[in-house]
Amino acid sequence: MTFGQCMPRLTYIKIDTDIGEAFMQISRRGFLTLSGAVGGGVVLSSLGLNLNPTKAYADELDKMNRVKIAKQTITTCCYCSVGCGLVCSTDKATGKIINIEGDADHPINEGSLCAKGAGFFDLTEANKHRLTKVLYRKPYATEWEEKDWDFAIPRIARLIKNTRDKGFITKNEKGELVNRCETIGHYGSSNVDNEECWLMSVRSRALGLVYIDHQARV
């Protein structure tokens, strides 16, 4: 049984009561909200009055209400060839994306997402610590200098070529033609799409690299 079959858009939940058993129809989003409410109620039922769960529940309700009136756009995740469906909710007033979740009606993922897809929303706003300019530190220097890409790209290309030329192996110990470079490795990213992955793979193999790995594997 898949995750989507376990959690369809409409779910019936069995509830044990003092007078027997009751069944309640609830939506997928409502199920998540109810889970948060139950968690908050458990905390509040204790002797300590911790109101943080209540506030979190209220914030989640506010977000859900905003999502309900937002413009919803159906799209496809770009990260891999599986092609999972996504639902993007955009605030009509500001035009900003306020939520991204799996499409429960999509035949492939049925609402579920992997870690990359689940973290899609984090890419809608740049992290405040993210570098937006090229920083360069000269050998033996202690300070960083701001540079433009016209300086950085040719220098990076030159350093790659120099390292490859010094470590390039044409033949192995048996005299067999290998044409490989063992002094450079490529470490891939899980936040790139198929086309970018293809370009990275072609470039790495054109350079003769044999040490090629991926972020998601290590």
Kindly report which listed range (34-48, 55-69, 83-97, 185-199) carries the lowest average pLDDT score.
34-48
Instruction: Tell the burial category of 43 from Cβ atoms under 10 Å away from its Cβ (0-12, 13-18, 19+).
Output: middle
What's 182's DSSP letter? E
The helix (H) or strand (E) run that includes residue 136 is: strand 134-136
Average pLDDT over residues 133-140: 93
- Other beta carbons within 10 angstroms of residue 177's beta carbon come to 9
Nearest CA to 108 out of 86, 81, 82, 87 is that of 82
The pLDDT score that the predictor gives to residue 184 is 94
- pLDDT tens digit sequence for 64-111: 656 567 788 889 888 777 889 999 888 888 888 888 889 999 999 999
pLDDT, tens digit, 9 for 90 and up, residues 149-181? 999 999 999 999 999 999 999 999 999 999 999
Which parts of 70-102 fold into alpha helices (H)? none
Q: Domains (ranges, CATH) in the chain?
A: 1-66 (no CATH), 70-127 (2.20.25.90), 134-217 (no CATH)
Categorize the per-residue pLDDT at 192 as very low, low, confident or very high, splitting at 50, 70 and 90: confident
pLDDT at residue 46 tops 70: no
